[in-house]
Amino acid sequence: MGMGLIKYDIEKYSPQQLVIIPLVLLVISIVLLAFTTINTGMPLTPGIDFSGGTAVTVITSDTPAQIKATFTDYPLIDISEGVNNGKFLKFSSMDDAKFRSLTTLITQKYPDAKIDQIGESFGKTLQYQAVIALIFSFIGMAIVIFISFRTFVPAGAVVLSAFADMVMTAATMNIVGIPLSLGTVAALLMLIGYSVDSDILLTNRVLKRQGKLNDKLTGAFKTGIIMTSTTLAATAALFIVSWFGSVQILMEISAVLLIGLVFDILNTWLTNAGILKWYVLKGGGK
């Protein structure tokens, strides 16, 4: 994303043209999440942290088919493969007797395996707390933004962009199959921060500096895209390293951040910039 590669020149586009693509994406994302909620009762597929179950990490050259054959009597729901023959197995909740016989089987067949069990009721409580944490941090962020800008449209634009980031990322998580786990909740919380960061930079530049609107937008973009690119590069590096080391949780966190940062570019420099352009042209700000 070098400076020369992207020409950020939105002079010839009206505010309506700028916001149309992100808004259509936002509507599609909301529909997808609503559809998932109606079908499963949750907007996102809960991972093992929340739904309860057993996670097993093994290093084996067995193929997924062979692993399935080994565990035909057990509720094996997913096999993810990492590098260096790392396999990550997920089993849904089972009773104690079943769990005990599963551990016996695993320790016989794969002595080095790592087994984690999470109870269903614990998972449910955790899920509830995670959702509450997301909602409250979002509301907290919105309050801080409204207090600091004290004008409805610019503040609303920042909050809308952050909301759109979260919703689009969540919808993509469903499509790609990334579950909601403690790690991905943390990643979504981090996204609220990243999103607001670039939006505040843009809003401050446009409303508080003197000069031509388009120059201020272009200037803000140059600074903002460098910030986002560095974060993207670091996150991509984390994703690649965790993929090679088959560290499931880091892979999920970095994947969520990557998806969210890409949407953040869209929502900051199209949605938010479009709303601000409309606001300034209407006579708001200085």
What's residue 3's pLDDT?
A: 43
Which positions ≥6 away from 108 have C-beta within 8 Å? none
> Quick one: pLDDT at residue 265?
93
Between the two ends of the chain, the Cα-to-Cα distance in Å is: 32
Rounded-to-integer distance, Cα 168 and Cα 61, Å: 37
Chosen CATH of 15-47+121-281 out of 3.30.365.10, 3.40.50.720, 1.10.3720.10, 1.20.1640.10: 1.20.1640.10
Distances, alpha carbon 266 to alpha carbons 161, 238, 286, in Å = 9, 22, 26
Q: Provide the H-helix boundaries in the chain.
A: 15-40, 48-51, 64-70, 96-109, 120-149, 152-176, 182-208, 213-244, 248-266, 273-281
Bridge-partner residues for 17, per DSSP?
none
pLDDT digits (tens, 9 = 90+) for 22-38: 999 999 999 999 999 99
Positions of the chain with pLDDT under 70: 1-7, 83, 284-286
Task: Give the phi and the psi of residue 249 in degrees, each rounded to 5.
Answer: -65, -40
pLDDT of 157-204, one tens digit each? 999 999 999 999 999 999 999 988 889 999 999 999 989 998 999 998
Q: Which two tokens stand for residue 165?
A: 């980031």
Q: Return the pLDDT at 76.
A: 83
Phi first, then psi: what are they for 56, rounded to 5°? -130, 125
Q: How much is the pLDDT for 2?
A: 43
Residue type, 120: E
Pick the CATH number of 53-118 from 2.60.120.10, 3.40.50.620, 3.50.30.10, 3.30.70.980: 3.30.70.980
Q: 251 and 243 in contact (C-beta within 8 Å)? A: yes
CA distance 155 to 161: 10
Return the pLDDT at 285.
57
Give whole-number Cα distances, 213 to 147, 184, 224, in Å: 24, 37, 16
Per domain, the residue ranges of the chain are: 15-47+121-281, 53-118
Instruction: Tell me which DSSP letter residue 286 carries.
Output: -
CA distance 162 to 140: 12
